[in-house]
């Protein structure tokens, strides 16, 4: 499963649209996110680690690094 597919699955499970996510990310960061720009970032897999942490916080998830 690609990172894009994982994020889209989490969005669907939490009933959050890309539009809602972009609005919430804009509020949280002060940086403008549009549904189009966020969709492109997901498609290109170019989210920064900081953006990923913010996205997960919005969806009430915790990012954890586990040594395998």
Residues 17-67: tens digit of each pLDDT:
999 999 999 999 999 999 999 999 999 999 999 999 999 999 999 999 999
Looking at residue 26, what is its pLDDT? 97
Q: Is residue 54 a part of any domain in this protein?
A: yes
Q: Is residue 38 a part of any domain in this protein?
A: yes
Alpha carbon separation from 20 to 4, 5, 65 (Å, rounded): 17, 18, 27
Looking at residue 27, what is its pLDDT? 97
Q: Which alpha helices (DSSP H) does 1-68 contain, by range?
A: 3-13, 18-29, 35-44, 49-58
Q: Is residue 19 a part of any domain in this protein?
A: yes
Whole-prediction pTM value?
0.86
Q: Is residue 31 a part of any domain in this protein?
A: yes
Number of neighbouring beta carbons within 10 Å of residue 8: 15
CA atoms within 13 A on the CB side of 66: 4
Q: Is residue 63 a part of any domain in this protein?
A: no
Report the Cα 55 to chain-centroid distance in Å: 4
Q: Is residue 64 a part of any domain in this protein?
A: no
Looking at residue 2, what is its pLDDT? 87
Looking at residue 42, what is its pLDDT? 92
Range of the domain at 10: 3-58
Looking at residue 1, what is its pLDDT? 84
| Total structural domains within the chain | 1
């Amino acid at each position: 499963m690609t990172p894009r597919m994982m994020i889209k699955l989490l969005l669907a499970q939490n009933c959050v649209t890309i539009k809602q996510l972009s609005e919430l990310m804009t509020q949280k960061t002060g940086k403008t996110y549009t549904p189009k720009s966020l969709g492109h970032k997901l498609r290109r897999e170019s989210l920064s680690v900081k953006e990923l942490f913010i996205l997960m916080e919005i969806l009430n998830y915790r990012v954890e690094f586990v040594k395998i």
